[in-house]
Amino acid sequence: MTRDKKARSVWQYGRSAILMAAALAVSGFATTGATAQQSCPKTIKVATEGAFPPWNYVDANGKLAGWDIEITAALCKAIGAECPVAAQAWDGIIPGLQAGKFDAIIAQMSMTPKRMEQVDFTIKYKESSSRFVAKKGTITEVTPAALKSKTIGVQRGAAQRTWLEEQGYSNIRHYETTQAVELDLIAGRIDLLIQNTATSSLVFFKRPESKDFEFVGPEFKGGTLGAGQAIAIRKGDNTLRECFNTAIRAIRKSGEYDAISAKYVPFKLLTEDQ
């Protein structure tokens, strides 16, 4: 064999090897993608609170409704899974997940350090902040010292409750639902409430009886209040977490996330890329 023929033979062999390696890589990637899709469960049992409008609540027909319910349907469609959704009282929602009663919590749960010890979270599916609400003209400062003689209402089990205690606030009254807190504020049985800023804007301030109330103090976020809200799953269930992460990114990219959100709020619920 001449030197030129030998060189061409070596070059052709090397080119064939490169093409074969590339084909195997593409094939391997496709197989991995297919395997990842196939590994997602076909049925995912979801829990929500069902008492936190407009995010999740029971409608006049006795059915679960709200933003969380629609987002759940969109996510599960993207995953290719059936997702029965059940209402669960807030205090028992994490224990129910841990016990295997359901597989995921989609209920405006903030990613707090304490909860991260108990469950795993997906990427953020909603941003959040918290603020105090009081009767107009009654509160000017919201430091623990300024509110020492005031009664603050908060939902039992909410991240805001832990935050109040950590910050040194006193005279805290606990309630089972956000509606109960709001009704007691309107009735004058408490001086302030603290809850999700968007919830106050979209629910509390829409009540005719709330016309004499206002936000007081700044927005609070981060730390005990959490790094936004996400879907909670059992510790170590990495497959389900990645299925939801992929689905969250997919419905955001398709515009379905914003289309659902626009039915409930006049502003963006999630702005940063993930």
231-256 pLDDT, tens digit per residue, is: 999 999 999 999 999 999 999 999 99
Question: Is the same domain home to 221 and 241?
Answer: no
Residue 229 pairs in a beta bridge with 110, 126
Does 197 reside within a domain? yes
Does 14 reside within a domain? no
Range in 60-64, 123-127, 148-152, 262-266 with the lowest mean pLDDT: 262-266
CB 108 within 8 A of CB 160: no
Question: Is the same domain home to 134 and 221?
Answer: yes
pLDDT band per the 50, 70, 90 thresholds, residue 68: very high
Average pLDDT of span 26-51:
67
* Selected residue with higher pLDDT from 196 and 107: 107
Res 1 pLDDT > 60: no
Does 96 reside within a domain? yes
CB 212 within 8 A of CB 138: no
Closest CA to 193 of 208, 207, 203, 183: 183
Closest CA to 215 of 128, 126, 142: 142
Does 2 reside within a domain? no
Question: Is the same domain home to 88 and 219?
Answer: no
pTM of the model: 0.69
**Tally of structural domains, the chain:** 2
Pair of tokens at residue 240? 């389900």
Average pLDDT of span 167-186:
95
Question: Is the same domain home to 252 and 118?
Answer: yes
Question: Is the same domain home to 138 and 217?
Answer: yes
Question: Is the same domain home to 220 and 231?
Answer: no
Question: Is the same domain home to 199 and 235?
Answer: no
Average pLDDT of span 1-14:
43
Does 256 reside within a domain? yes
The residue range of the domain holding 80 is: 46-127+227-262
Res 108 pLDDT > 70: yes
Q: How far apart are CA 72 and CA 49, in angstroms?
A: 13
Does 81 reside within a domain? yes
pLDDT given at position 17 = 41
Question: Is the same domain home to 141 and 216?
Answer: yes
Res 273 pLDDT > 80: no
Rounded percentage of the chain residues whose pLDDT exceeds 70: 86
Q: Which 3 state secondary structure label does DSSP give 238?
A: helix
Question: Is the same domain home to 117 and 63?
Answer: yes
Which ranges of the chain would DSSP assign to H, the alpha helix? Answer: 3-39, 67-79, 93-98, 113-116, 159-167, 178-187, 197-202, 238-254, 256-262
Range in 102-106, 134-138, 225-229 with the lowest mean pLDDT: 225-229
Does 274 reside within a domain? no
Q: Count CB-CB contacts under 10 A for residue 272.
A: 8
pLDDT band per the 50, 70, 90 thresholds, residue 45: very high
Res 34 pLDDT > 90: no
Question: Is the same domain home to 78 and 120?
Answer: yes
pLDDT given at position 9 = 44
Does 187 reside within a domain? yes
Question: Is the same domain home to 256 and 121?
Answer: yes
Res 28 pLDDT > 50: no
Range in 29-33, 42-46, 234-238 with the lowest mean pLDDT: 29-33
Q: What is the CATH number of the domain that holds 250?
A: 3.40.190.10
Question: Is the same domain home to 52 and 111?
Answer: yes
